[in-house]
């Protein structure tokens, strides 16, 4: 540091001497009784006088320092980072013309690279703030958890610049930088408010139907995810194609009013469970389809059938924020949960049966070797129903009809013995 300091002083002195020599003032000597900053420079050339004064200034500078404290850090500046800006040249020229005996310099303590030093301190102390974060893992025991915000810090650069200049005008000393705490816009409290449990809906299934249980679990695992503000959820897009290639197995499905075997049987229970959770969370349903037959896991007018041939379940997120959809299986229970920002409105469902459709005469199937009649499938009456949503908001309750449905009856099947020919055709007897 000392070597740099004296090298700087020498360089400044050399520049001053060159300046004097170039101006034709290298030879004249100062008059008797002449002093600059209390230093007797009588009879000296301008260069000699400049060297003597600069040596005095150098000794004075060696006692000067500027200390900046910022947070838990300290920055100390000394010569050659500290230097004097003076009017020594003009003072010596004036003295050489015999104008006065005692001459005082106008000197100002300066910090070399002041702007660079201020920026360096600001950059060194800067810590970027971080918003509180919502961590979504639909397969975790707690699917939605939160990480708190991280407050940052920054130095007020403009204020620090003013403080440094004021300290330099006073001859150095100490400066306490203003370090501001900067908190992010999204706090832990706000993050939690944006991801509260809006709804939970559960349906149940028979675990002994292994293929159907497998399909339900596979679809439930596939549809979990987030839906941004204003975005639309599509069950078919989330679940993917129900095919053996994608892991789905054959299981009973409803097709054209009949129970039959099909790949992906059971997936409609997943879409139905999500449909009900979406209603209870205040989502706007944009597409749904009822089954042709009533199902046993939800009341009438609250089912949502899906298929790969164009029948989808869709809803739009109009909460103004992101929502999180969790769908999981535990034992024989299938549960859909939706997290998001609570609007203050609470929803309930209401299923109303408005009529019954009697089943047709049962189908009789003759079976060779049968000794008596046996019911293969019991008849079941069809249902006419309406679905309503009860909306509790602002201390009032509104009842809104969602849909009207008609579910076909199920025709019974009876197994019976083959009738004798004469009994079957009595007119031939």
pLDDT at 64: 95
Q: Identify whether the C-beta of residue 198 lies closer than 8 Å to the C-beta of residue 340.
A: yes
DSSP-derived secondary structure letter, 246: G
Residue 429 pLDDT greater than 50, yes or no: no
Torsion of Cα atoms, 272 then 342 then 193 then 186, to 10°: 100
pLDDT in tens, 284-312: 999 999 999 999 999 999 999 999 778 99
Residue 244 pLDDT greater than 60, yes or no: yes
pLDDT tier for residue 225 given thresholds of 50, 70 and 90: very high
Q: Where are the domains of the chain?
A: 2-112, 194-422
pLDDT at 11: 45
pLDDT tier for residue 15 given thresholds of 50, 70 and 90: very low
pLDDT at 344: 94
Share of the chain above pLDDT 70, in %: 90
Strand partners, 174: 67
**Cβ of 391: how many Cβ atoms within 10 Å?**
16
pTM > 0.85: yes or no:
no
Question: Is the backbone peptide bond immediately before 80 cis, with ω within 30 degrees of 0?
Answer: yes
């Amino acid at each position: 540091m000392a070597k740099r300091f004296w090298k700087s002083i020498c360089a400044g002195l050399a520049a001053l001497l060159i300046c004097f020599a170039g101006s034709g003032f290298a030879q004249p000597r100062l008059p008797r009784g002449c002093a600059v900053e209390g230093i007797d420079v009588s009879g000296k050339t301008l260069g000699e006088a400049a060297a003597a004064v600069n040596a005095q200034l150098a000794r004075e500078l060696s006692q000067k320092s500027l200390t900046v404290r910022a947070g838990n850090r300290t920055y100390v500046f000394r010569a050659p980072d500290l230097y004097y800006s003076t009017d020594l040249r003009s003072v010596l020229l004036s003295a050489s013309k015999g104008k006065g005996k005692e001459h005082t310099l106008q000197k100002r303590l300066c910090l070399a690279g002041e702007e660079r030093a201020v920026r360096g301190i600001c950059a060194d102390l800067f810590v970027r703030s971080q918003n509180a974060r919502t961590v979504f893992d639909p397969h975790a025991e707690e699917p939605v958890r939160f990480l708190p915000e991280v407050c940052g810090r920054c130095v007020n650069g403009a204020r620090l610049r003013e403080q440094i200049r004021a300290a330099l005008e006073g001859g150095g000393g100490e400066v306490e930088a203003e370090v501001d705490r900067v908190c992010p816009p999204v706090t832990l409290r706000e993050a939690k408010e944006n991801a509260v449990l809006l709804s939970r809906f559960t349906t149940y299934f028979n675990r002994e139907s292994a293929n159907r249980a497998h399909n339900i679990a596979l679809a439930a695992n596939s549809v979990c995810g987030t839906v941004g503000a204003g975005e639309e959820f599509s069950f078919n897009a989330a679940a993917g194609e129900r095919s053996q290639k994608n892991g789905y197995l054959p299981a009973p499905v409803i097709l054209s009013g009949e129970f039959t075997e099909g790949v992906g049987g059971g997936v409609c229970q997943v879409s139905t469970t999500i449909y009900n959770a979406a209603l209870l969370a205040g989502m706007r349903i944009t597409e749904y389809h009822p089954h042709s037959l009533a199902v046993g896991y939800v009341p009438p007018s609250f089912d949502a059938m899906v298929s790969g041939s164009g029948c989808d379940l869709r809803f739009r997120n109009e909460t103004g924020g992101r929502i999180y959809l969790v769908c999981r299986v535990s034992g024989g229970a299938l549960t859909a949960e939706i997290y998001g920002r609570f609007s203050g409105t609470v929803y309930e469902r209401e299923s109303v049966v408005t009529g019954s459709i009697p089943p047709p005469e049962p189908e009789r199937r003759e079976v060779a070797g049968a000794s008596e009649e046996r019911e293969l499938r019991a008849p079941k009456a069809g249902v006419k129903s309406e679905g309503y949503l009860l909306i509790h908001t602002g201390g009032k309750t509104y009842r809104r009809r969602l849909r009207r449905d008609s579910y076909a009856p199920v025709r019974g099947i009876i197994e019976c013995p083959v009738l004798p020919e004469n009994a079957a055709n009595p007119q031939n007897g």
